[in-house]
Every structure is written in structure tokens, then in C-alpha cells.
Amino acid sequence: MLTLLSAMYLVVRTASAQAEPIRVLVTGAAGQIAYSLLYSIAKGDVFGKDQPIILVLLDITPMLPVLDGVVMELQDCALPLLREVIPTDKVEVGFKDLDAAILVGSMPRKEGMERKDLLKANVAIFKTQGEALEKYAKKTVKVLVVGNPANTNCLIASKSAPSIPKENFSCLTRLDHNRARSQVAIRVGVPSDSVKNVIIWGNHSSTQYPDVHHAIVNHHGKEMSGFDAVNDESWLKGDFITTVQQRGAAVIKARKLSSAMSAAKAICDHMRDIWFGTPDGEWVSMGIYSTGNSYGVPDDLMYSFPVMIKNKTWKVVDGLSINDFSRGKMDGTAAELVEERDTALTFLGA
């Protein structure tokens, strides 16, 4: 007779054996963010412990030898959910029949490069990738853009894949969300999971607005507002905001490399919430398509809002009160996104 434990194990193993694998693409797959990310995806931390995975790893041709090493390491992990690893430099292979696409790779800013030049290079990349999604991927594919400038890259990809719903595209501001949550937790002296409902508004750039006006902190068993828990308004409206805005640059200055570990964790958090939803009463921050929102944010941008997710569908948290301080910050980051979009669209039409 099976013990309860062995019976439960058999059920999990049987479900895993019966589930159809999903195809997950990671671009820039030879880079350091992907190196921190792929193991978590392959072992079931993102799409579920009973969901087999086919990992598709796309990078530029000169990086294929490095990709071969990544494939060997994934194989050597002996992960039961990982059914196949496909390294490629061809979009027709990389984007075929995808269930999820995590677009990490982008042109990094080089010394002496103007912001406009960086945007032009990335418009070309994400136009190509959007067209590949349109041509080869499932129409239900969930697309997460990580490569910077993430919001505008995401917008260009979505415009280049017109038959895939705009709602299927999002860009990563979860790293900023996690940074904001952690900074409040450290300041108050509580674990990070005792802080919820911070918000990142706008662009994943130094104009983003980390907002704690609606945050809730569980302070040793008592729930209170973020402002009351911190009890330092000048810090919350000053150093807190600049710390979150400039955290990526601070990591690069310290490490001489970008924040790969925390970015990979944020990607996992973002995609897992899309797949399984957000807890009741809690929201997360995501860069999503702005259309007809209640916060006066211009349409046709990828702008970070607070969202709740259910059945793989996000919904903006409406009705939050916005004071004059927040309005100014939200409008400032929106203005930057409008400028980025308009510049990108001129390149798109060229």
C-alpha cells in the first residue's frame, strides 16, 4: 500500500509526465542576466513544478560557442522538467511556437554613444524581434521585454506584432519594485515580505517614480501605512526615491558589472505572477500598454502601473488617490516616455 507521501509524489510525477512542454525563449542567452536566470526557469521556479520546459536560447552568431557552454551546464544540472535546450542565432528557430518570450538581449550603451543612437540601434533590434513574434510565435505568447530602454523597446516590439494583443506585452519594472520594497523594509527593520503595494510609475529609467503613498507595512504584527511605518517623510520624498532610481548605476559602480542576480530574480517574479496571478489584495508593478487609464497617463506608451493579475490577465489598480507631489513625478516620467516613443517612431518609419 502506498503511503500518503509516496502517493502524492506519484501524482506530481504523473502530472509532470503528462503535461505538454511549453516553449520559452530567452534572448541574449549568453549574457550574464540569462546565466543567472536560466537555472530558475529550468528547475520550475517560474512556470510551475510540474510544467516541462523547452528552453530556446537566442543570441548573435559570435556568441554561439558561449551558448554551447550554457547548454552543457543546463544538461549537467540533470533537471527533470527540462526536456530540450535549443541554442540558435536564427529568429525563425528562436521564435517558433512560443508560449513565453523573455527578451533580455539589447544593444548596450557604449562610450561616447548618444541616447538617440542607442534608441536607434534598439528600435532595429526590437522591430525585427516583433516581426518574428508576429510570424512564428503563438498568438497567445506572453512577452516580457528586459533589454533597455525596456519600455520603448517593448512598445516597438508590440507595434511590430500587430496580431498579438498589446496586453500580451510587458516590460520589466519589477526590479525597481523589489528595490523599493526592500529599501522600505530595511529602513523599518522588517523582512521584505512585510512590505506590500509599493508602486513604480512610468519609465524604467532615472525618471521612474517609486511611490509608497499606498504601501502597507506589517510592523511586528500591526499593519500600517508605509509613511507611518517609516516615519520620515523627507527620506521618503528624497533619498528613497533617488536610491531606487539610481540603484542600477550604483551596482555597476560597485561591481563593475550590471545587476544580473537581482534582474534575474525580478524576471522570475514577473513571469511567475503572469502565470499564477497576484495574491488577493496585493499588486505589483509592470510596464504595460497605456490606453484609457484613470491616471491621466497618455495613451500608446508602455508605462509602469500597479496591476493585479488573474488568469494570465493584468488589470490596472484604479481609483488610487494621487497627490500633487505624485502627479508631478508621474507626469515627468510620462513626458520622457512620450519623447522616447516619438523619436523611436521616426526611426521605425525610416
CA triplet 73, 150, 153: central angle to 5 degrees?
A: 105
Detail the residues annotated as belonging to a binding site for NAD(+). 59, 122, 146-148
Pull the grid cell for residue 51: 510544467
Pull the grid cell for residue 164: 498579438
Distance CA 81, CA 328 (A): 47
**Residue 214 bears catalytic tag:** no
Per-residue CA distances from 295 to 167, 171, 172, 185, 326 (Å): 18, 19, 20, 27, 11
Detail the residues annotated as belonging to a binding site. 59, 109, 115, 122, 146-148, 179
Q: Are 26 and 54 in contact (CB under 8 A)?
A: no
Residue of 177, 204, 214, 270 with catalytic role: 204
Counting Cα atoms < 13 Å in the Cβ hemisphere of 156 gives: 32
Detail the residues annotated as belonging to a binding site for substrate. 109, 115, 148, 179
Give the residue carrying C-alpha cell 491621466: 296
Pairing of strands 142-145, 100-103: parallel
Q: Point out the residues that are catalytic.
A: 204
